[in-house]
Chains A and B, each alone.
Chain A
Amino acid sequence: MSEFVTLSLRATFEGQLDVEGVAADRFADRSEREIAALPARLGARTARLGDFFDVRGERSTRVRVDGALAQVHGLGAGMASGELVIDGDAGRRVAAGMTGGEIVVFGSTGAEAAARVRSGLVVVAGDVGRDAARAMIAGTLVVCGRTGAEPGRASTRGSIVSLGGIAVPVTYWLACTYKPSHVRLTLKYLHRHYGLAIDERVLDGRYRRYCGDAGSPDRGEILEWAPALSSNSANDRRR
């Protein structure tokens, strides 16, 4: 058993690479060779992870992925437990359908990050594309950069924490502005455990709590960091 399994993107490729098998829990009892043999898909063509990634380490639920991953999609999709760290940008559907564990992206992601997540923590140090946290059932998405269009659509109990700006959909309503204790705890944990840089202002900041989504009105929430508690932001004017 290794402390980590590390996947380093080796090959350059044309097109879009889908790697929905890259989820920390699936590496728990697999050898290096078995991990390299996990399926991948380049466009319509079936391939193996090992065709694109160098695999180091085995039988661990702590996974690191590095390389130019912006065209690599589905990282962490369906992950049930463990820890997946993506050292750079990632493609679409990061953490889609995840049911547990933690995924930290030290870059930006494409569309549909954390879509349909049932449980777990997803953190993106950069920006996320459109449709983030779509149909989220529970769990938390923390976005340190800018959150793309239409976040949290059809979310029922999921939580989006936005630190770098978000256009809150009209189907979410402002409940209050407050200091959520769990956000502070989460951010401090991310700093201590993953070395994520956290600005003191967001740690001790006030957040606007929006509740939605109106399409399925339950307990979905967006917590938007309010840097100066300005009362004339676009979101406040609309409500």
Chain B
Amino acid sequence: MKIRGVLIEDTFAEAFTMAAARIVVTAVNDRWARAAAVQLTGFATSVIACKCEAAIERELGPEETPDARPGIAMLVFAMNADNLRKRLVERIGQAVLTCPTTSCFDGLPDLADRVPAGRALRVFGDRFQTSTVIGGERYWRVPVLEGEFLLQESFGVQKKAVGGGNFLILAEDAESALAAAEAAVAAIGGIRGVILPFPGGVARSGSKVGSRSYKSLVASTNDAYCPTLRLTTDSALTEGVNSVLELVLDGLDAESIRHAMRAGIEAACRPGVRAITAGNYGGKLGKVHFHLRQIMSGVS
């Protein structure tokens, strides 16, 4: 299968079930909403070392937010609901509570599974905090130097979220790989329910499980896709592939990831790109498989 001359390899991305929350931060203007969002989603590329994966999902207009102020929706993924609760307490506590003018709301209000992250954070108020119930939801008013920080008590948890959707762009040179990756990121941007947790949405350090030399390592470089090692290791690259970049996708459900992978791969099929492939572990580790040719069927 080829799209505009780019080979779509007959393989699949192997992904995992995760727990996810959508955090909505509002502020007096875009600047302060973004200031909090950038901090909350910082250092959250891989669950292996960062304990969670997070990124901005999209900007929200005042008509979309609970308090009619500018806002930003973020998705946070962890391995299970308890881990997710801990990460939310840490990140909302350090990145939103601290940020001028912000309020913090649950972006998955219809889900029955919930984590009481706001309830845990209320104690920052040292018993001066008060709560109010609006529309059946409890919100905490935590006194802070500026005035009050408003925080929803509980956050909905999507227990069947999916982490680790991915595809790799195999290109003739680094410029072509980067241009294709940027095009893919742009195409995926704004698709609801999906984030790209790596810097700028792109990972250059795709990894394999474990290490051939260092037993303590959980992950090490995916040598099969490193162009400099094409003749040194059991390479998956053909001659002429000189740079590879990877996009990793986390989504609230598998369908969101499929939709985003299709948009991203289609955008990445451009001059200088030889092939699109995907990372997997032989299908033994992750329950969710995204077969590239199925996803791209009908695209030419």
Contact = CB atoms under 8 A, between A and B. Distances in A.
Interface string A138-164: 001000000000000000010100000
Contacts of A219: 130
B68 A182 contact: no
Contact of B133 (A120, A157, A203): A120
Interface stretch (A17-25, A173-181, A229-237): A173-181
Given A181-B67, A203-B68, A186 B134 contact: yes
A212 B122 CA distance: 23
B282 interface: no
A181 B134 contact: no
A188 interface: yes
B42 interface: no
Contacts of B130: 157, 159, 219
B262 interface: no
Q: Which interface class (under 10, 10 to 19, 20 to 34, 35 or more) fits B?
A: 10 to 19
B156 to A, nearest CB: 18
B298 interface: no
B177 to A, nearest CB: 45
A60 interface: no
Contacts of B66: 185, 188-189
Interface residues of A, number: 22
B150 interface: yes
Contact of B147 (A140, A179, A188): A179
- A contact face: mostly helix, strand, loop, or mixed: mixed
A222 to B, nearest CB: 14
Given A157-B130, A188-B66, A188-B68, A182 B141 contact: yes
B124 to A, nearest CB: 15
A117 to B, nearest CB: 12
Contacts of B132: 121, 140, 159, 182, 186
A140 B132 CA distance: 8
A109 interface: no
Nearest to A221: B130
B215 to A, nearest CB: 51
Nearest to B152: A185
B103 interface: yes
Nearest 8 A/B pairs, CB to CB: A181-B150, A178-B147, A185-B67, A188-B68, A181-B103, A184-B67, A189-B134, A182-B132
Interface of A: 100, 102, 119-121, 140, 157, 159, 176, 178-182, 184-186, 188-189, 193, 203, 219
